[in-house]
Amino acid sequence: MTRLVGIIGNPLAHSISPIFQQAAFDFLKLPIQYKIWETRPSEFKLNIQNLRSFEYLGANITIPYKEQVIQYVDDLDSKARLIGAINTIVKRDNKLIGYNTDAFGFINSIRSNSNFNFKDKKILILGAGGAARAAAFSMIDEEIMSLTIANRTLKRASDLADNLSGFINVDISDLKSPVFEESVRKSNLIVNASSVGMAHTILENKNLIIADWISPGSLIFDMVYNPLITPLIKEAKKAEAEVISGLSMLIYQGAESFKLWTDEEAPIQIMAEAAELVLK
Burial class from Cβ neighbours inside 10 Å (0-12, 13-18, 19+) for residue 162 reads: exposed
Q: How far apart are CA 280 and CA 126, in angstroms?
A: 26
Q: How far apart are CA 202 and CA 119, in angstroms?
A: 37
DSSP 8-state assignment for residue 70: G
- Beta strands per DSSP E along the chain: 3-9, 32-38, 56-61, 75-76, 88-92, 95-99, 122-126, 146-150, 170-173, 189-192, 219-222, 242-245
Residues 6+ apart with CB under 8 A from 169: 145, 146, 147
CA 273 to chain centre: 20
Give me the residues paired with residue 91 across strands. Answer: 96
Angle between helices 130-138 and 154-164 (to 10 degrees): 30
Q: Which residue, 115, 177, 107, is CA-closest to 137?
A: 107
The DSSP H or E segment spanning 80 is helix 78-83
Point out the catalytic residue in the list 29, 45, 66, 122.
66
Our answer to whether residue 45 is catalytic in this structure is no
Which residues are the active-site residues?
Answer: 66
